[in-house]
Every structure is written in C-alpha cells, then in structure tokens.
Amino acid sequence: MKHHKGQTRDSLTPEIALEFLKEGNARFCNSLRYNRDFMQTVSETAEGQWPFAAVLSCSDSRVVTELIFDQGLGDIFSVRLAGNIASQQAIASMEYTCKVLGSKLIVVLGHTGCGAVKAACDGVEIGNLGSLTKMILPAIESETSTKANRVSSNTEFLNNVLHNNVHHQIQTIVSGSQLIREMLHAGEIGIIGGVYDISTGSVDFFNEMFDLENTPGNTRSMQSA
C-alpha cells in the first residue's frame, strides 16, 4: 500500500479501506491519478503482498479495478469472473486474501451493460456459458417489478437485475463461507456492493455494508456450501 503506508494491518478498518477506494475512484474520474513508479513497487512487493481490499468484479475488459480505483501493485486482490459470479473458487480466493493476507474489505462490483447479465436475461447459452448464467438467474427471478419485456434491451429491467445480482453474489459469498461469516461477526472485515458505470467511470457503492445480524434467516446459522 505505497500511498497508504500511514495505515497498518492493526489500524486499518473496513471503513477506512472503503474510503481509500472512494477517493481513488474520484481521482480516476477527474484524471488525477497518482504518479507511481511501478518498477519500484515491483521491487517492494517481491517478497510479499498485503492487499487492503478484495474486489470481485466482472472480467469485462473495461472494468480493471486497479485503474478505476487508482491503486497500485499489491493494493487490491482482484478476483474477476464474467458477471462478478461468486463461484466456489472465487469464494476460496476471498477467504485466502482476508484470512491469510489481511484484506479488510470485500467489494462485489457489478457494472452497467454487463454482457453476462444480458446473456442471462435473454437466455443465451453458448458452449459453457449456461453454467455461468444459471448463477445469475436468482437475480432475474427476484426482479418482480417488470411484468413484460423482461429482456436485456429493457434498460430498467437490466439495471434492476444488475443490482440484484450484486446483492445475490454477496449473499452467496456469506452463505458459502463459514470463515468469512466468522470474520464478519468479529468485525475483522466488511462486505459492500457497488456498480461501475462504464460510461462515466464512476462507482456507485451501496449505502451500507452487508449487515450479518440483519440478514433474513440469520446467515450466521447457515451451513457452508
């Protein structure tokens, strides 16, 4: 964390980590990114890493988390899957960075115009794509305000599903990982969702971090997937 070295593992909180990301996105949107010596950072991180946040984002080539949050090498543990899907392997990766590397925040980041979500909305199945889009179907099913024209060309419907999908993937992470639930309960980490606007470069974070206590059915009692 070259530009956050005033913070240590012990003093950094999920809230402070979130502010780092918000400040970085503001710099990105205003073309005020830090001037980094990447080769120096390569040398400094050669023997270890401590990413302050983990970001589960889409594989979309326009959604590069280190760039949109103006962070350097070693700052973000980036997990990228089309549709920002919380697969078992993605969850394992987030368990590793939080428990072993000391990351304080998990961000599930959707984005406007997501091709994977569009494919799920339109029932597209090409090759192995169906194995991915089925993990987005709960987000479509929970969108009940749109009664007709439930396809990706309906912008309002698509945007509702995009947001639902972020919520659903957060729930999948928490219900699928006893380790992450324990860290949440202890206040060691936080989880928040957000949506990146590919037309403006801005990230719209959800109003609040995930609240384990107020989860329907109390997620702490769920068994690991």
Whole-angstrom CA distances from 157 to 167, 169, 219 are: 16, 18, 28
Sign for the CA dihedral angle at 12, 13, 17, 20 comes to negative
Lowest mean pLDDT among 83-87, 101-105, 131-135, 218-222: 218-222
Q: Higher confidence at residue 76 or residue 36?
A: 76
8 Å CB contact between 103 and 189: yes
Q: Which residues pair with 204 in a beta bridge?
A: 195
8 Å CB contact between 165 and 136: yes
pLDDT beyond 80 at 199: yes
**pLDDT tens figures, 101-152:** 999 999 999 999 999 999 999 999 888 898 999 999 999 999 999 999 999 9
Q: Which domains does the chain have, with CATH numbers?
A: 9-37+48-215 (3.40.1050.10)
Residues in CB range of 128: below 8 A, 6 or more apart: none
Question: In terms of C-beta density within 10 A (0-12 exposed, 13-18 middle, 19 or more buried), how is residue 6 classed?
Answer: exposed
